[in-house]
Amino acid sequence: MINTFQRETVEFQPVSLAANGAPVLDGVEFSIVLEGRRPDTWIPAVTLSGKLGFMVQGKGPGAYRVWARITANPETPVIDCGIFRVI
């Protein structure tokens, strides 16, 4: 099931990430793009109540894919984190 939000929504969405089997809690950026597009602009992750994630806000109607990039690693993995929809 895809999370669906009203376009007026401002809401934190937590994302669980791991690198080499260990949880990642810092050094993360997100790219939130319309479905079918590749990541381009990266924004810093938000931490709320000890959880890492991003804010859903300011998006027009459509399906959006979320990409994470872990920059606090010797490598820079890019991870597909799934889709949400704005109506």
Residue that the structure tokens 């606090």 belong to: 72
Question: What is the mean pLDDT of each successive set of 10 residues along the chain, which is 87 residues long?
Answer: 94 93 92 97 96 96 98 88 97
The predicted pLDDT at position 21 comes to 87
Beta bridge partners of 13: 54
The predicted pLDDT at position 5 comes to 97
Residues written for the chain: 87
The predicted pLDDT at position 55 comes to 97
How far is Cα 52 from Cα 18, in angstroms, rounded to an integer? 11
Q: Are strands 62-70 and 51-56 parallel, antiparallel or unpaired?
A: unpaired
Phi/psi of residue 77, nearest 5 degrees: -70, 145
Tokens of 14: 């937590």
Tokens of 58: 């300011």
Q: Which domains, and CATH codes, for the chain?
A: 3-86 (2.60.40)
| pTM of the complete model | 0.92
